Structure 1
Amino acid sequence: MTGMVLLLLLGYWPLPANSGISGTFMEYRNQHLHAGFDLSTNGKVGFPVHCFDDGKIVMLKVQKRGYGRVLYIRHPKQKLVSVYGHLDRFTPRLEKIVSRYIKLRHSRYPGTIVPRKPIPVQKGQVIAYSGESGVGWPHLHFELRNLQNEPVNPKDFGLSVNQDKSAPEFQFLNIYPETPSSTVNGHCRFVQLPLTHSKDGNFTVKPFRVSGRVLMSVTIRDTDGRKGPLAIQRIITRLNHHPFYDYQAQVFSFDRFNRSSAVYDLTQTRLSPSTYGFNLFRIPGSDLQCQKQYPTTLQKGQNLMQVSAIDFAGHKVELNFRFHWQEPSAQPVIPTTLTTASVQLHGQILPAASIHQPISIPIAGTDWTVMSYGVTPSAIRLGNVAIETKGYNTSPRLMYARFVSKLPEEPGLSIVPDTGLEIQPGQLFLSQLNLVMYWKVADIRMGWFRYDSVKKKWKYRDTELNYITQNATADDFRNGMYAVFLDTASPVIHSKPYYFRNRTAWRVTDVGKGVDDSTIMLSRGKKTWKMEYDPDRKIAWIDRHLKKGRYKIRVTDIAGNTSSAIGRLH
């Protein structure tokens, strides 16, 4: 009987085949946490999407980016709302509603659409077809929300990931001294320890010594055997056999979803290629429901830490290690790392809470400007550049910044003098990071960029040019190298037009601020067509098969640089 009840409660897998998951719940997604599961469609579109459970369609959205074409269904029995994103198209009945709003709002992307009456649907019924609308490549974003509009873990409501046959693997233990009196193996510096398999199939690391306050994280790799890497579902940490820290991807609220740094160690975490470092602590001020910190403390002498990692298929792996801990020395060592709780200046230890104005400090041969940040806004001014921050940490912490004069170069980008910055460390618990550059001469080509040290490329950050206050402002959330560049490179139009699915497309790339979607025009003789731009595939496209022949395309980027080309459509 219990089994029958469970089957009735479980939801319907939304796609006709289980091809695995390419993204998990609460996975790191740059500035935010992922709100659902990404279900793989193996790079294809057009698969029927089935309704998770009996319910009523209460809302649709058609937008250019974000979730693209998305459907919202309320399920009264489950007290849930299911969300289906990046759809190619809806059912004919829903497409008629969309067509009406496209005409009414005079836009291909009419935005939010609320039916006059909720539309009943049944469990397993086809409600749409998978696609790649909005952001990203072909897949289905599936999301569940509770009645408080909070995303919840779909696995808790029957979405099976049992095709995942591989367990997570621990890769590194990362240790960060928090004060100049804190050391790892006698030195005040960051240490990354590689982890090895133990005889029982779990992981371990050679014993080490710690003094004072440190933060720890673990780098974990997990796949489902086909897709990945993926983030994991739970971390359970015990210190000397007592609960120490618990993370469980179960629920979070949208007003907290930009706090990825609370869960992930951003020094060890990135996308494309994906790498995930998980904090083994809850920072004071993080009120995510998924984290719990226990009052267990380190003991003098030997300590045993046990870390269990559990993926979304239930595979569990453990890391067990011992380390010796002692109180910090009364005489601080010379730090070679950027400590986050206090700093040493002229032989004195300055706690973060005591630093009310930015101060200059040399560390390991480099001059830094350091300031404290927390729930109260703070700022660093370096020449004509300001860094404005606000954290969610209730206990003040330290952020470091410095000018960088010699920056990596990239063709097509011209550095604006005295704007190169480095912001550190990776353990920044920010709800706001504003970069502001004050100019003397306005130039539409200006924009903030962040350097990707893995791909060795500068990436544009959305920049607002305010001609009244005469500044260029960009928002971000993490450490790294930043600078303002002039985008002097015109878009590159590749080869010739071609047919792509039911579209006519032309590949266009831009190394700077990106293609201005509103400027792309295709012409043949006296006929002209406005094209759209897909920044993921880097193609300009029009939603029709044009006749074969010679066409001309003209493209302008956000910086005002223009290119044109002529090509034959075969």
Structure 2
Amino acid sequence: MNRFILYSTLVLGVIIAQEPVWPTDTGKSLKSNYGEFRHRHFHMGIDIKTGEKEGASVFAVEDGYVSRMVANFKGYGRALYVLHPDGKTSVYAHLSQFNPKLERFLKYYQNMNESYILNQYLEPNKINVIKGELIGYTGNTGYSFGPHLHFEIRNEKEQPLNPQTNGFAIDDRQSPELKELALIPLGKNSRVNGSLLPVQMPFFRNPDGLYELADTLNIFGPVGLSIRTNDRRQGFSETYQLKTIELIIDGKLEHKLDFDVLDYNLNDRVQLVRNHGLHRLNLGSFHNLFHLKENPKSTVQSDHLSGILKLPPGYHKLIIKATDANGNTAEVSGWIFTHPPIDLVIQDTQQNGNEITFNVQSKSISIPLKNITCYSFSPSGFADKKIDPLRIKKKDGGLMVTLDKRMIQDRSLQFIAKNIMGTFSLPLHWHPHNIAIDYNAKPDIKVNQTAAGIIVQIETGNMGTAKPSLNLDSPQKLTDVVLEQIQPYTYISEALDAE
């Protein structure tokens, strides 16, 4: 029995000895974690809180030697790099000062170079440190916005690794939060819920606490998905980057983001992982779950999985799984229905007192309509409001939609319907007959770059059924461009090639 206790004690002692030392004595509260999105780069390490004060002790996390010391007014400010026997390097940045021995080396090299700014690589084993040794003090030097310790672990290639999965785990029992899904048309004729433009759809949690989509998604053609999500830790207000996000369709993994290894040489590729278009328009910070073949890849993206959905007609099961560095997970599930959008037509209208009834039918498909939504637009083209019909009745596979005439006076209308299979319609528009036309109004033309190509948007500034035309003049020929009405006053082109 005593021999067993001795053996167990020895094994436990070895396990404990293998754990690295936490790099500072201010606790394990993180201001930022690994892989977070910055303006034009990823965050390459973890930022450890120091109580908004400078001067906390900084320790060597393992045995090794100081391979590099840096002093600068920008970047990492004062920083130390310690190379360890396993080939990894630990980085300690934004320090206020080094320990007295290292400060003497710093002053020596600064005097020798006649400059405060220093980026000195040192000979192996010239300055050895032992695990747990005090090597410096936390600060706020360089590009730092408040006292903290920036800490990194790098591999033999100088690529930053995720510290939280490489020996520096923190207590975290809270699952990631899933916020919203964006669907991005990627082809000239791609559609999302009948639209050529990206569509955002929030998630909701059912009574069991599971995330679900509010409705079946209707897509056609190549489409990419992006997700807005973040991670939290119990008792803290900060939001953090996730470890992995997986896109699964019909039980098959289609794409995966894994924040395990980053590369300084590829740091600007954050714009390929974060959806740049949505971020630029202040619509949120979304993770792209697809990769376009013409773009280079980041280290966090799958090598062989594009994530571009080119699904056959029918229903498909969607699952997105998000996991943090501690293994806490969250999933959202839903259904995708692949089918081209349907065309609508108003066969006739009937007026009775203060009521007007629209007979809305599918133009070419016999599958009955299930529901319909109506929006009004002001004479200046402003999206006024969603209108609740007085009544909706089914007739011959279509819908009889009765509205209060007083609610739509001098208003244009837009109808969007959905059939019983889950297919969305193209927008259907209606204008009153007694409209005033401003013949001096000039169209407003905008050009937007999207994932599918260049889209030209024309806002006519007038009610009415007249459709604008668009021609592209090139040295070779004059090309007609097909326009589609997406609002009573707004038309967009199909996605055009940049060439």
Choose from 303, 313, 317 the match for 1:304: 317
* SS class of match (2:101): helix
1:262 touches 1:283 (CA, 8 Å); kept in 2? Answer: no
Query: In structure 1, what is the Cα distance between the partners aligned to 2:496 and 2:54?
Result: 50
Choose from 127, 138, 143 the match for 1:130: 138
2:447 touches 2:454 (CA, 8 Å); kept in 1? Answer: no
User: Given the superposition, is the C-alpha separation of residues 65 and 336 from structure 1 closer, same or farther in structure 2, using an over 3 Å criterion?
Assistant: closer
Query: Could you list the per-position Cα deviations for residues 306-344 of structure 1 after superposition, in whole angstroms to 9, with x for gaps in the alignment?
Result: 111111232111111112112589999799985433457
Query: In structure 2, what is the Cα distance between the partners aligned to 1:349 and 1:316?
Result: 51
1:315 aligns with 2:325: no
User: Given the superposition, is the C-alpha separation of residues 63 and 140 from structure 1 closer, same or farther in structure 2, using an over 3 Å criterion?
Assistant: same
> Corresponding residue for 2:38?
29
2:28 touches 2:170 (CA, 8 Å); kept in 1? Answer: no
> Corresponding residue for 2:27?
18
* SS class of match (2:151): strand
Query: In structure 1, what is the Cα distance between the partners aligned to 2:475 and 2:24?
Result: 55
Within-5 A mapping of 1:373-522: none
Identical positions, percent: 25
* SS class of match (1:255): helix
1:195 aligns with 2:195: no
> Corresponding residue for 1:53?
62
The structural deviation recorded for 1:98 is 1.5
The structural deviation recorded for 1:298 is 2.0
> Corresponding residue for 2:247?
237
Amino acid at match of 1:190: P
* SS class of match (1:307): strand
1:144 aligns with 2:153: yes
Amino acid at match of 2:73: K
Amino acid at match of 2:22: W
> Corresponding residue for 1:463?
none
User: Given the superposition, is the C-alpha separation of residues 91 and 303 from structure 1 closer, same or farther in structure 2, using an over 3 Å criterion?
Assistant: same
User: Given the superposition, is the C-alpha separation of residues 127 and 307 from structure 1 closer, same or farther in structure 2, using an over 3 Å criterion?
Assistant: same
Within-5 A mapping of 1:205-354: 205=213, 206-225=215-234, 226-269=236-279, 276-284=285-293, 285-292=295-302, 293-294=304-305, 297-326=310-339, 339-342=450-453
> Corresponding residue for 1:497?
none
> Corresponding residue for 1:449?
none
Within-5 A mapping of 1:100-119: 100-112=108-120, 114=122, 118-119=126-127
TM-score (norm 2): 0.65
TM-score (norm 1): 0.57
Query: In structure 1, what is the Cα distance between the partners aligned to 2:167 and 2:29?
Result: 15
Amino acid at match of 2:305: Y
Query: In structure 2, what is the Cα distance between the partners aligned to 1:233 and 1:36?
Result: 13
Query: In structure 2, what is the Cα distance between the partners aligned to 1:5 and 1:50?
Result: 21
The structural deviation recorded for 1:239 is 0.5
User: Given the superposition, is the C-alpha separation of residues 338 and 3 from structure 1 closer, same or farther in structure 2, using an over 3 Å criterion?
Assistant: farther
User: Given the superposition, is the C-alpha separation of residues 60 and 274 from structure 1 closer, same or farther in structure 2, using an over 3 Å criterion?
Assistant: farther
2:244 touches 2:324 (CA, 8 Å); kept in 1? Answer: yes
Amino acid at match of 1:215: G
* SS class of match (2:170): coil
* SS class of match (1:103): helix
Structure whose residues are more often strand by fraction: 1
1:178 aligns with 2:183: no
Query: Could you list the per-position Cα deviations for residues 79-100 of structure 1 after superposition, in whole angstroms to 9, with x for gaps in the alignment?
Result: 2011111111100011111122
1:189 touches 1:337 (CA, 8 Å); kept in 2? Answer: no
User: Given the superposition, is the C-alpha separation of residues 337 and 179 from structure 1 closer, same or farther in structure 2, using an over 3 Å criterion?
Assistant: farther
Query: In structure 1, what is the Cα distance between the partners aligned to 2:116 and 2:266?
Result: 32
Query: In structure 2, what is the Cα distance between the partners aligned to 1:4 and 1:306?
Result: 43
* SS class of match (1:104): helix
1:215 touches 1:281 (CA, 8 Å); kept in 2? Answer: yes
Aligned residues: 365
Query: In structure 1, what is the Cα distance between the partners aligned to 2:84 and 2:247?
Result: 36
* SS class of match (1:101): helix
1:83 aligns with 2:91: yes
Amino acid at match of 2:48: L
Query: In structure 1, what is the Cα distance between the partners aligned to 2:491 and 2:115?
Result: 53
User: Given the superposition, is the C-alpha separation of residues 300 and 274 from structure 1 closer, same or farther in structure 2, using an over 3 Å criterion?
Assistant: closer
1:181 touches 1:328 (CA, 8 Å); kept in 2? Answer: no
The structural deviation recorded for 1:227 is 4.5
1:231 touches 1:276 (CA, 8 Å); kept in 2? Answer: no
User: Given the superposition, is the C-alpha separation of residues 204 and 70 from structure 1 closer, same or farther in structure 2, using an over 3 Å criterion?
Assistant: same
Query: Could you list the per-position Cα deviations for residues 381-434 of structure 1 after superposition, in whole angstroms to 9, with x for gaps in the alignment?
Result: xxxxxxxxxxxxxxxxx59xxxxxxxxxxxxxxxxxxxxxxxxxxxxxxxxxxx
User: Given the superposition, is the C-alpha separation of residues 301 and 281 from structure 1 closer, same or farther in structure 2, using an over 3 Å criterion?
Assistant: same
Query: Could you list the per-position Cα deviations for residues 263-285 of structure 1 after superposition, in whole angstroms to 9, with x for gaps in the alignment?
Result: 21234448xx9963111113324
Report the aligned-residue RMSD: 3.8
Query: In structure 2, what is the Cα distance between the partners aligned to 1:266 and 1:147?
Result: 31
Query: In structure 1, what is the Cα distance between the partners aligned to 2:448 and 2:183?
Result: 11
Query: In structure 1, what is the Cα distance between the partners aligned to 2:57 and 2:270?
Result: 33
User: Given the superposition, is the C-alpha separation of residues 367 and 290 from structure 1 closer, same or farther in structure 2, using an over 3 Å criterion?
Assistant: closer
1:305 touches 1:320 (CA, 8 Å); kept in 2? Answer: yes
> Corresponding residue for 1:565?
none
In structure 1, list runs of 5 or more residues that go unmatched. 373-397, 400-570
Query: In structure 2, what is the Cα distance between the partners aligned to 1:224 and 1:187?
Result: 38
Query: In structure 1, what is the Cα distance between the partners aligned to 2:143 and 2:283?
Result: 17
Relative contact order: is structure 1 or structure 2 higher (C-alpha 8 Å, sep ≥ 6)?
Answer: 2
The structural deviation recorded for 1:240 is 0.7
* SS class of match (1:317): strand
Query: In structure 2, what is the Cα distance between the partners aligned to 1:90 and 1:59?
Result: 13
Query: In structure 2, what is the Cα distance between the partners aligned to 1:269 and 1:315?
Result: 26
Query: In structure 1, what is the Cα distance between the partners aligned to 2:476 and 2:77?
Result: 45
2:188 touches 2:496 (CA, 8 Å); kept in 1? Answer: no
In structure 2, list runs of 5 or more residues that go unmatched. 1-7, 344-363, 365-424, 428-445, 457-467
* SS class of match (2:182): strand
